[in-house]
Amino acid sequence: MTEQSNPIFLGKTSPLPQNPQEAMLDYVPNPRAGALYLVRFAAPEFTSLCPVTAQPDFAHLVIDYAPDKTIVESKSLKLFLGSFRDHAAFHEDCTVGIGQRLFAEMAPRWLRIGGYWYPRGGIPIDVFWQSGEPPTGLWLPDQGVASYRGRG
């Protein structure tokens, strides 16, 4: 984890990391530390590979978190998510792994991730993880992803 006032990726050419382990997430100080608020990232075109067939899998990820001392820098998050493009893992591993890594490194007050995966073998697989109970008073909007009927 890096935490600095000057993000390491912004304004620079940044190649896509080859895999999630190589990807570096960047964190900056929370400009509203002490305030209880929710940040949402939606990645409607997330891709990874099936570990059995090596065929591409597609998901709409929604990441919600209540920051504490840091916030994740969005370009580093995009590069991290992009690093899964050639990564072979089951839906559960990708979704929960992303949530757990963000939670461990950023140490937000609370985090949840919804992985809304498009059908594999005719069955959509949705995976959800959260770090615990949300803080009292935190507004939690619906994640806004339709139950599978072509995903909207």
Using CA atoms, how far residue 124 sits from 28, 98, 127, 133, 148, in Å, is 35, 19, 10, 26, 7
Domain total of the chain: 1
* H or E element, residue 64: strand 56-66
User: Is residue 20 pLDDT above 70, yes or no?
Assistant: yes
pLDDT over threshold 60, residue 16:
yes
Q: Is residue 108 part of a domain?
A: yes
Kindly state whether residue 148 falls inside one of the protein's structural domains: no
Predicted TM-score (pTM) of the model is: 0.91
Domain with 58 in it: 16-130
Does residue 37 fall inside a structural domain?
yes
Question: What CATH number does residue 70 fall under?
Answer: 3.30.1130.10
- What is the per-residue pLDDT across 50-99, written as a single tens digit (0 to 9) for each? 999 999 999 999 999 999 999 999 999 999 999 999 999 999 999 999 99
> Among all residues, which ones are annotated catalytic?
50, 57
Q: Is residue 41 part of a domain?
A: yes
- Tokens 């590069």 belong to 79
Strands 39-49 and 2-3: unpaired
Q: Is residue 73 part of a domain?
A: yes
In a domain, 98, yes or no: yes
